[in-house]
A and B are shown apart, each in its own frame.
Chain A
Amino acid sequence: MDEIDERIIILTQNGIPIKSSPFSDIAKEIGISEQEIVHRLERMISRGNIRRIGASIGHRDIGIIANAMCVWNVPDEKAEDIGIIMASFPEVTHCYQRPRAPGWDFNLFTMVHSYTREDCEEVAARISRTTGISEYKLLFSDREFKKTGVRL
């Protein structure tokens, strides 16, 4: 990424304006064409600097109020295979392996979001049946203190 790429990210990371030509203002500000902005964004996606351009949803405000971090205790030697299976569930939006900590035995983390807690519990039960991992917990978020996404 060069300086112009960075400026594009900084000028778009809080959201592009919702208007017919959303890149016209930042193109003027940087002093390049709108086409160049689009081209550079495409290049940053293909290089993996950004994952995509898209809408970030205020999921709580539209009724998706059950947000569960499901934590699983998976034997280390099976973690890779099981992680791949867990990630294949469409209801799972994030899936990570993380270290255990003293008093904390859970090493796989999956996020599940839905309209009701029962939905999330049902998904977790299905994942448990499919993978044979029975030691797990659903930690629903009681409050959101911050959600900005990753910023430069």
Chain B
Amino acid sequence: MIVLDDDDKKILNAAQLDFPLGLRPFRELGESLGIDEDEVIKRLQRLQDLGAIRKIGPVINRSGVGGTSTLVAVSVPESRIEKVAALINEYNEVSHNYLRPGRYNIWFTLSAPDSQRIEQIISELGENTGLEFVNLPTERLFKIGVKFDIR
């Protein structure tokens, strides 16, 4: 596990939702936290190298760029989990994929330019695995705003 000091935590908390968009964003971010630009860059690079940050970039709104997304659940026998998860991951349209306990054990999100593509992927996966994939498209979105409270 990555050990964070107080300045790392301050930077990580601010860089999630309050990352400034400008020509010199790291200088601005530092100014808001009282840390100079070089130090912000050094720390962010280290945090990214260690995996505390996966990337700094745009969070794409699938429906805002012309497209749709869904959550899919499937019940996979224990012995086939690795293979089925790898098969699912092959699709670029898969943005998240998790193993969870319960009736359905693999849960993944699909995001594509249109619902036909989503249906095509689900039906291909069904044919290639013989498993039943349950499509649970968003009916209402109440919140999407991932911010981890790092403490």
Contact = CB atoms under 8 A, between A and B. Distances in A.
B140 A12 contact: no
B142 A54 contact: no
Contacts of A19: 26, 41
Interface of A: 1, 9, 12-16, 18-23, 34-35, 38, 41-42, 44-45, 47-59, 61-64, 67, 69, 79-80, 83-84, 86-87, 90-99, 101, 103-104, 109, 111, 113, 137, 139-152
Interface of B: 1-2, 4, 12, 15-19, 21-27, 37, 41, 44-45, 48, 50-62, 64-65, 69, 71, 73, 85-86, 88-89, 92, 94-104, 106-108, 111, 134, 136-150
B143 A141 contact: no
Nearest to B139: A97
Query: What's the dominant secondary structure at chain B's contact region?
Result: mixed
Contacts of A146: 88-89, 94-97, 108
B87 to A, nearest CB: 10
B57 A14 contact: yes
B53 A145 contact: no
A16 B57 contact: yes
B100 A69 contact: yes
